A and B are shown apart, each in its own frame.
Chain A
């Protein structure tokens, strides 16, 4: 145990009601206590900590635990240690699988979409179609040597343009909103754990970013790992929760339509020409491309049944602060 770690454990013991503390993992720091396993977060950015605390408060609900944390003996959310702050959270170790937990996850996602809203932290990216075309022109000027990649890229160019334009069209009404759905940058299914049927959702320590983009990636990743029926169940459960207003549906579809995998394949080829390694194979590209197409179709088939997606009541370009 390092000296810093010893000081930290002493501080934890002094500030929380833990009789025993034993480090079980250093990164992230996990300690075993008589009250179960806890995750210790060390914050260097006070502003980020305050943002997270406020964010968490907005999301607290009766259906699941959001970043369940402990207050100190003096009732404070964190322990101050010099320039750092320390928070203590529950750390269930049982991961949540999508299969069989679709309704549980749908409840959590619904809550997030409704209440996890703030000013987007990121800059609005350039139009997807502009990026697609400029990258393609750049690659043509460089002169691709990788014949296979170039053939695939050029074969899919017109399709990539069509998808990018459609993505731009779907995003356009929501460009100037003051409030948007946000999620922590590292959000994934690994952010969810469970004890019995109780879901623990971790907000973590990452900065908030565009939630629709992350949610779209989350769905894509899960659809690649799970059978179609499971994704269908999840979408159906989300539909039952009336999660997707027009804005969310449009932005999710825009994320899937944006041919990021095509751009990545192209960039990978360009980097290879410039001796920079960014391996991204044609097979990986095809897998993602096809899966996105399937996902869009599945999404539409579930939500278009009653016009829930893409045609329902709009929350509006301004978004809505629900809390």
Chain B
């Protein structure tokens, strides 16, 4: 369950992880949950990706020798990713819960203010192996617009962190998050929650004889998950994708300097700023019919046509982002579908909850793009600063896997309509 208030979206998660059968715990000594995420700004949305990292230390329990059958040798459900022996009679554990949240760009006024904060965190060990986690998580730095005006947007990516359907009247309730196993895109989020619920009683019956209450500690005071502590960590995490960029090879830049005439970046930008743009949202019916030309990634804005009414081209980039792939649906189309398809709507509403909660006016999400030719000595960071665009956006827009850019390359510079207006 989640709640959007002022500048933050809050939701709770209840998760269970299991220690392996051969590594049970007598007592948990400490446990922490901290976000390790990257924030990527795309054409129309901001994607929070990464994981919640669960770390902890526990006192191992005696391993029962009676476990001979296969069922006992492997944990029935999600097991802890990594367990290490500290050599001091304790073991440490680490587990990652994937996060993939897409937020419409207009809901994020400033990327620097966007944080994922663990407001509270609690855990409970039962049956020596079953660790139940409960956490209140908040996304901060969002603008608060009227939810009634919001338009549902297509699902940006399959493995999105999936809160359940919204219940706005409840201030804060538990939201089962997407489980790591659910990365398979075919798995419906709705199917996960009941499955999880069924697992618990089954497990309880199986281990009823062994069950005894285990240590329960409120971790809020001993984990670095408070908002104040998370912010710096969050900043670091958000900057992680920048690292490759700082390693970009510049060894040949000087070589080319003497051999190439400097390329007029400014001239390009001036031209591109006005009309060399790409509008990410396109209504299928607006697709130009009169031209037999193949669709191209850039669509110039016709003079005399308003930006809102102008048809835009579908991107034909070799590897379009999932968001772009799904942007063919317009808000109008989806509204009609909402009225006509009850069950489907429910499923969509559930799986797209965060996006729906945060979606803004379609017109504001139209994205423009410029192009620049990389100059000798340029790096992604420099270009990022020059155009006030996050490095992550440059990476994504240009399908770059690293910050390696060379003088002479062409770079798409994404630019939101909002930013363009600000520039004016």
Contact = CB atoms under 8 A, between A and B. Distances in A.
Interface of A: 146-149, 151-152, 154-156, 158-159, 161-163, 165-166, 272, 279, 281-283, 286-287, 289-290, 293-294, 296-297, 300-301, 304
B407 A281 contact: no
A300 B376 CA distance: 15
B268 A155 contact: yes
Given A148-B300, A151-B276, A152-B371, 9 more contacts: A147-B299, A151-B271, A163-B408, A281-B296, A281-B297, A282-B298, A283-B297, A297-B256, A301-B251
B200 interface: no
Nearest to A147: B300
Interface stretch (B159-167, B259-267, B360-368, B385-393): B259-267
B252 interface: yes
Contacts, number: 87
B396 to A, nearest CB: 15
A39 to B, nearest CB: 35
A41 B313 CA distance: 49
B294 to A, nearest CB: 5
B110 interface: no
A147 B271 CA distance: 12
Interface in B296-328: 296-300, 302, 313, 316-318
B406 A297 contact: yes
Interface string B255-281: 110011101100110011001100000
Contacts of A293: 406-409
Query: Which are the 9 A-B pairs with shortest beta-carbon distances?
Result: A147-B300, A162-B261, A293-B408, A148-B298, A297-B252, A159-B263, A297-B406, A148-B296, A290-B409
B259 A283 contact: no
B373 interface: yes
A149 B296 contact: yes
Of B259, B302, B318, most buried by chain A (CB within 10 Å of CB) is B259
B271 A155 contact: yes
Interface of B: 249, 251-252, 255-256, 259-261, 263-264, 267-268, 271-272, 275-276, 293-294, 296-300, 302, 313, 316-318, 371, 373, 404, 406-410
A166 B409 contact: no
B394 to A, nearest CB: 13
28 contacts: A146-B293, A148-B298, A148-B299, A148-B300, A149-B296, A151-B272, A151-B275, A155-B276, A156-B373, A158-B261, A158-B267, A159-B373, A161-B261, A162-B260, A165-B261, A279-B294, A282-B296, A282-B297, A283-B296, A290-B410, A293-B407, A294-B404, A294-B406, A296-B406, A297-B252, A297-B406, A301-B249, A304-B255
A279 B256 CA distance: 32
Of B264, B404, B408, most buried by chain A (CB within 10 Å of CB) is B408
Given A146-B293, A158-B264, A279-B294, A286 B410 contact: yes
Contact of B316 (A149, A272, A283, A297): A283
Contacts of B260: 162-163, 166
Given A146-B293, A162-B263, A294 B276 contact: no
Of B256, B318, B410, most buried by chain A (CB within 10 Å of CB) is B410
Contacts of A279: 294
Given A166-B260, A287-B318, A281 B294 contact: yes
Contacts of B272: 151, 155
Contacts of B293: 146, 272
A151 B316 contact: no
Contacts of B409: 289-290, 293-294
Contacts of A282: 296-298
B318 A283 contact: yes
Contacts of A287: 318
Contacts of A272: 293
Nearest to A159: B263
Contact of B408 (A146, A152, A159): A159
A243 to B, nearest CB: 20
B263 A281 contact: no
B255 A300 contact: yes
A161 B408 CA distance: 12
B261 A155 contact: no
Contacts of A166: 259-260
Contacts of B408: 159, 163, 293, 296
A38 B216 CA distance: 76
Nearest to B411: A290
A91 to B, nearest CB: 34
A166 B260 CA distance: 8
A152 B150 CA distance: 36
Of A148, A281, A289, A300, most buried by chain B (CB within 10 Å of CB) is A148
B341 to A, nearest CB: 35
Contacts of B268: 155
A255 to B, nearest CB: 15
A171 to B, nearest CB: 14
Contacts of B318: 283, 287
Contacts of B406: 293-294, 296-297
Contacts of B373: 155-156, 159
B287 to A, nearest CB: 15
Contacts of B264: 158
B53 to A, nearest CB: 30
Contacts of B407: 293
B249 A158 contact: no
Nearest to B370: A155
Of B249, B264, B299, B406, most buried by chain A (CB within 10 Å of CB) is B406
B329 to A, nearest CB: 23
Nearest to B407: A293
Given A155-B272, A166-B260, A282-B296, A289 B410 contact: yes
